Structure 1
Amino acid sequence: MNLRRPAVRGLAAALTALIALTAASGCSSKAKTDDGKRTGAGGVRTGEGVTDTTITVGALTDMTGVYATLGKSVTQAQQLYVKQVNAAGGICGRQLELAVRDHGYDPQKALAAYTELEPKVAGYAQFIGSPFVAAVKPRVDTMDRAVILPQAWSASLLGSPSIRTIGATYDVETINAVDFLVTEKGLKAGDRLGHVYFEGDYGENALKGAKFAAEKAGLTVVEQKIKPTDNDMSAQVAALKQAGVKAVVVSAGPRQAASLVGVAAATGLRVPVIGNNSAFAPQLLGTQAGPALRSMYWFATPSLPIGADTPVARKLAADYRAAHPEEGLDNGVVAGWTAASVFGEALKKACAAKDLTRDGIGKALLTLKDHDAGFGIAHDFTDPKAPSSRESVIIQPDPAVPGGMRAVRQPFVSEAARAYTP
């Protein structure tokens, strides 16, 4: 994941302004949503983003900011899904179209892109950035009602009738990650656990999970809060080393994780480090931090990696390589494909119910239970108040494996995660 553009400052203030703007635009959006339903081809009710020949799905991505590499692979995987579905005849007699907008992990651009696409799409198979999804959540829940499957896992998004996370939320995932440190990496009661995390929804939700897990295991959490613009982790490593931590959790971007691990190894803080699912990119194995990442870094994810030995993973890896021979494989491919397949299944069920309105698609999603996109975890979307799964996979960087990632613990739920209420 490339950090070519710095994230904007004053994120909290910017998001407050965004929420005010979305509220101000609410009345006209609601009228449009209510009046836009009609009966189309095949006797199917349709609404925004759906014609007799097409279904347009939105993708609000980051191709130039903090998660540029992730956004690119997520989007390309979803474009591949659309291409293959259309080649097989489409869905409900209609061809899929993916409307992509790059917000560069900028809150103003994220809102502008959402506002522009909102009247044109049936829903969203991608929306990167927990803070940005949270900013539009009031408008989505009360007025727009379009299904959003975000590449964001903050527990603050739970309970929405339209915004549905795919996989364990950051807090649950972090609880599973700490369990791995305790059961397999020697962390024990009385030890200090470092946690380096982004300010905002992502990092603070992960921190909540870390504190819960620490309390259960008798650990003390040593916090280091950072901004997305902080790329050099030298100060954080120095503070953690002085505190005597025995392991570290990192809930940030891949560049920050690589800096953290590289500096820790260079300064003698050779302790296990584990990250959340977005805190790694295999491209980093070719950097100076590569050797340290291979020896002392792990990360938790809501699915098996792209190099998994499953029929879907093998086919997707081959198809993606054929479509993008110049690109590497990473877990953004898995996340993008999984979200697209979930949205596609909801569209198929909505078609069967002859209701391709936004409400119809949302109701169809509620019927998806035990949905496995082919990466080892069954997802249950019947309860909007719960994540679709509490399972995590622990992955270790390994350049010898396709995608540079090897699963060292298969899908599991720790006892602490089972007892936890997001």
Structure 2
Amino acid sequence: MSTTYAAKAAAGALAALLVLAGCSSKAKDDEGGDKGTAAGEVKTGDGISGKTISLGVLTDMTGVYATLGKSVTQAQQLYVKQFNADGGVCGYKVELTVRDHGYDPQKAVAGYTELEPKVLGFAQFIGSPFVAAVKKRIDGQDKGLVLPQAWSDSLLGSPYIRVIGSTYDIETMNAVDFLMKEKGVKKGDKIGHVYFEGDYGESALVGSKHIAEEAGLTVVEQKIKPTDNDMTAQVAALKKAGVKAIVLSAGPRQAASLVGVAAAGKFNVPVIGNNSAFAPQLLGTQAGPALMANYYVASPSLPIGADTPEAKKLVAEYKKAYPKDSLDNGIVAGWTAASAFGQALKKACESKDLTREGVDKALLTLDALDTGFGIAQDFTDPNAASSKESVILQPDKSVTGGMKVVREPEASEVAEAYTK
């Protein structure tokens, strides 16, 4: 995600944008407000015009997570096409309005400000720091459902922003649990943690520190910026510190550098990343062999190549729709979020209330959403992640999507017992 983003430096710019946005974003046109309230009719409001429901997509097509953003967005476009072909909902068809923020904080907030008055909610919003920047607006005045591609624990507690899968703190606990049970890390050892500054990395750090305290480990921290692509200094520091394993809460570029540099220096400790710290395209780079040998990823679902009927169906349909594009787990993430929004729309239709409030309430009734990727999502408690389970994956270029399962969906004992 090529950006000049640095969390603290951007805070002032974000605050200024939010002040301006708060002054202008709620000037609704004639399509706003409640409509269709006569007996037997469906109540509608923001984001519905004519017979179309508009959903926003704030993605990254040009930055650090460009590969993820493209896959998530195309999977959601495929879902919407099928949703509409099946009749839509309550006589309405769904359309996605897509904006690329390039993982830039100003573009992300500006994109939200532009789309919010025009859409019912957001089926995608990549970037924990950016969702956090508009959280007060979402909770206080906008109240449109947001299903982010972001897993910071700071996003919990909102009935409108619903994290799908385990948050980064819980996911990291499950990752370290895997290192202890499967990779020889034991009480008294040091583990490294390389992490992005800001909501993503610091949420993951909460998890590594918590399980380290419970298990008698020591965490050696290395904080980086999303623009830091060369991990040579971080690897040298962690090697000098004598860590027995490394947790990575960053992007695919940082994963390739860290694992590649470590292998070149014969620093052969296991490295495990959070779910957004890998892209299968890396397997075609010089770092590919090292990634397959010594890198793991904690994921909120089974991979796109899972041996389930739903996964195989999605693979076939995605290949048909996008024959030139590779398969990765962004497809699963995008499909799952779109499915959650689609199910909420259907529930809201049953209640004859397609307003933002009606859709928000409808999502809260979904307690076991299963899209065929191993983990059922429970959205009934806004204060909790929809799941505490993680799947541990390993890069493998011989399998569909470049990732194989090395540990099935599981929540560690520490994660199960954890409360904020």
1:84 aligns with 2:82: yes
Q: Which amino acid is the alignment partner of residue 217 of structure 1?
A: A
SS at match of 1:329: coil
Farther-moved stretch of structure 1 (122-131 vs 43-52): 43-52
CA distance, structure 2, for counterparts of residue 35 and residue 97 of structure 1: 17
Q: How far does residue 160 in structure 1 lie from its aligned partner after superposition?
A: 1.1
SS at match of 2:94: strand
Q: How far does residue 89 in structure 1 lie from its aligned partner after superposition?
A: 1.1
1:94 aligns with 2:92: yes
Q: 1:25 to 1:254 in 2, by over 3 A?
A: closer
Q: Which amino acid is the alignment partner of residue 36 of structure 2?
A: T
Aligned counterpart for 1:38 among listed residues 27, 31, 35: 35
SS at match of 1:371: coil
Match of 2:360 in 1: 362
Q: How does 1:3-402 map to 2 (within 5 A)?
A: 3=1, 6-26=2-22, 29-30=25-26, 32=28, 36-39=33-36, 43-402=41-400
Q: Which amino acid is the alignment partner of residue 185 of structure 2?
A: L
1:381-403 residue CA offsets vs partner (Å, 9 max, x unmatched): 11100000000000000111100
Q: Which amino acid is the alignment partner of residue 228 of structure 1?
A: P
CA distance, structure 2, for counterparts of residue 252 and residue 321 of structure 1: 28
- What residue ranges of structure 1 are gaps of 5+ in the alignment? none
CA distance, structure 1, for counterparts of residue 223 and residue 255 of structure 2: 13
Contact 2:232 2:258 in 1 (8 A): yes
Contact 2:301 2:375 in 1 (8 A): yes
1:281-339 residue CA offsets vs partner (Å, 9 max, x unmatched): 00000100000000100010100000001111110011001111111000000000000
CA distance, structure 2, for counterparts of residue 367 and residue 24 of structure 1: 35
Q: 1:19 to 1:355 in 2, by over 3 A?
A: farther
SS at match of 2:419: coil
CA distance, structure 2, for counterparts of residue 146 and residue 16 of structure 1: 25
Contact 2:79 2:338 in 1 (8 A): yes
Contact 2:5 2:105 in 1 (8 A): no
1:217-241 residue CA offsets vs partner (Å, 9 max, x unmatched): 1111111111111101011000011
CA distance, structure 2, for counterparts of residue 225 and residue 412 of structure 1: 28
Q: How far does residue 40 in structure 1 lie from its aligned partner after superposition?
A: 6.8
CA distance, structure 1, for counterparts of residue 372 and residue 37 of structure 2: 33
Q: Which amino acid is the alignment partner of residue 9 of structure 2?
A: A
Contact 2:194 2:234 in 1 (8 A): yes
CA distance, structure 2, for counterparts of residue 63 and residue 179 of structure 1: 33
Q: Which amino acid is the alignment partner of residue 132 of structure 1?
A: F
Q: How far does residue 267 in structure 1 lie from its aligned partner after superposition?
A: 0.2
Q: How far does residue 213 in structure 1 lie from its aligned partner after superposition?
A: 0.9
Q: 1:53 to 1:407 in 2, by over 3 A?
A: same
Q: How far does residue 14 in structure 1 lie from its aligned partner after superposition?
A: 2.4
Q: How far does residue 24 in structure 1 lie from its aligned partner after superposition?
A: 4.4
Contact 1:45 1:355 in 2 (8 A): yes
Q: 1:161 to 1:31 in 2, by over 3 A?
A: farther
Q: How far does residue 28 in structure 1 lie from its aligned partner after superposition?
A: 5.5
State the identity %.
Answer: 71
CA distance, structure 1, for counterparts of residue 83 and residue 137 of structure 2: 31
Contact 1:301 1:394 in 2 (8 A): yes
Farther-moved stretch of structure 1 (45-54 vs 408-417): 45-54
Aligned residues: 418
CA distance, structure 2, for counterparts of residue 117 and residue 54 of structure 1: 15
Q: How far does residue 140 in structure 1 lie from its aligned partner after superposition?
A: 0.6
- What residue ranges of structure 2 are gaps of 5+ in the alignment? none
SS at match of 1:421: coil
Contact 1:178 1:210 in 2 (8 A): yes
Q: How far does residue 23 in structure 1 lie from its aligned partner after superposition?
A: 3.9
Q: Which amino acid is the alignment partner of residue 63 of structure 2?
A: G
SS at match of 2:81: helix
Contact 1:342 1:373 in 2 (8 A): no
Farther-moved stretch of structure 1 (87-96 vs 324-333): 87-96
Contact 1:40 1:52 in 2 (8 A): no
CA distance, structure 2, for counterparts of residue 367 and residue 359 of structure 1: 13
Q: How far does residue 10 in structure 1 lie from its aligned partner after superposition?
A: 4.0
CA distance, structure 1, for counterparts of residue 266 and residue 193 of structure 2: 18
Q: Which amino acid is the alignment partner of residue 391 of structure 1?
A: E
Q: How far does residue 363 in structure 1 lie from its aligned partner after superposition?
A: 0.5
Q: Which amino acid is the alignment partner of residue 228 of structure 2?
A: D
CA distance, structure 1, for counterparts of residue 45 and residue 133 of structure 2: 24
Q: How far does residue 30 in structure 1 lie from its aligned partner after superposition?
A: 5.0
Q: How far does residue 13 in structure 1 lie from its aligned partner after superposition?
A: 3.5
Q: 1:52 to 1:354 in 2, by over 3 A?
A: farther
Farther-moved stretch of structure 1 (64-73 vs 9-18): 9-18
1:36-80 residue CA offsets vs partner (Å, 9 max, x unmatched): 111179611111111341111110000000100000000000000
CA distance, structure 2, for counterparts of residue 19 and residue 383 of structure 1: 29
